Structure 1
Amino acid sequence: MNINMSLIGQMITFAVLVWFSMKFVFPALNNALDERAKRIADGLAAADQGQVLVKQAEERATTALAAARDEAAQRVADAEKRAQLVAEEIKANAQAEAARIIAQAKAEAEQQATQAREALRGQVADLAVKGAEQILKREVNASAHADLLSRLATEL
């Protein structure tokens, strides 16, 4: 066989192989590679979008947490104010009750003092009447009279 002929046959076979590969094999490989590149690009885009969404969610969570803390602080402040108002109201009620009890006790003490004075006046009047009776029953004597007055004074 002739080497030139063999070389030309191999070149023709190689050219047919290259043409066949370019026509049927490479387009299929290129499509598969393009599809894979597209899937990778979509995956990277989705990952980037996911990171953006995560950042947005973190920002919303931070904002919501700050708002919840502010609301909780406001509620605590309101509860403290209400508790202070209730305490002041209870204190005012207790002071009013104490004042009422003191006024009632003073009135009762004054009433008892008035009753004691009235009773004492009655006793003094009775003693004065008894003393006058005794003086009138006895003879009018200065020493007896002084003695009766001293006993009357001790009884008072």
Structure 2
Amino acid sequence: MNLNLTLIAQALAFASLIWLIARFIWPPLLNAIEERQKKIAEGLAAADKSQESLAQAEAQISELLREARTKANQIIDQANARANQLIEQAKHEAIAEAEQQKTLAQAEIQSATFRAKEELRRQVADLAVAGAEKLISRQIDGSAQKALLDELAAQL
């Protein structure tokens, strides 16, 4: 065997193998690699886009939370103001009711006092009439009159 012939045969086999690989295997392999690179690039772009979307969503959530806290504080302040207003209104109503009851009690006291005075006047008038009857019915002398007046004063 000739070494040159073997070397040429090997060179031809290697060249045909390279031609087969370059013609049939290499283009689909390059296409697959390019497709994979595109998918990876798209995935990275989508990841970057989703990161941006996430950052925007977090910013929106922070803004919404801040607005919600502000509104909640406003509602709490309004509720406290309304509660204070209701307390003040209840105080004024209680004071007015107390004044009305006080006025009614004073009127009742005055009425009772007037009735008591009238009853006292009636009793004094009755006693005076009774005393006058006794004076008239007895003989009028100084000592009897004085005793009768003392008795009348004791009854009063």
TM-score of the pair, normalised by structure 1: 0.90
User: 1: distance between equivalents of 2:154 and 2:41?
Assistant: 124
Structure 1 portions without partners, runs of 5+:
none
CA displacement 1:52-100 (0-9 Å, x = unmatched): 2122212222222222222222212212221221122122111111111
User: 2: distance between equivalents of 1:60 and 1:32?
Assistant: 41
Q: Pick which of 18-27 and 139-148 moved more.
A: 18-27
Q: Pick which of 124-133 and 31-40 moved more.
A: 124-133
Residue 154 of structure 2 is matched in structure 1 by: 154
Cα root mean square deviation, aligned: 1.5
User: 2: distance between equivalents of 1:111 and 1:92?
Assistant: 28
The answer as to 2:98 corresponding to 1:98 is yes
Residue 68 of structure 2 is matched in structure 1 by: 68
Amino acid at match of 2:67: A
Residue 125 of structure 2 is matched in structure 1 by: 125
How many equivalent pairs are there? 156
5 Å-filtered alignment, 1:3-152, equals 3-152=3-152
Question: Displacement of 1:6 after TM fit?
Answer: 2.5
User: 1: distance between equivalents of 2:154 and 2:94?
Assistant: 48
User: 1: distance between equivalents of 2:104 and 2:68?
Assistant: 53
**Matched position secondary structure for 1:97:** helix
Q: Percent identity?
A: 44
Question: Displacement of 1:16 after TM fit?
Answer: 2.6
**Matched position secondary structure for 1:135:** helix
User: 2: distance between equivalents of 1:107 and 1:155?
Assistant: 31
User: 1: distance between equivalents of 2:23 and 2:87?
Assistant: 94
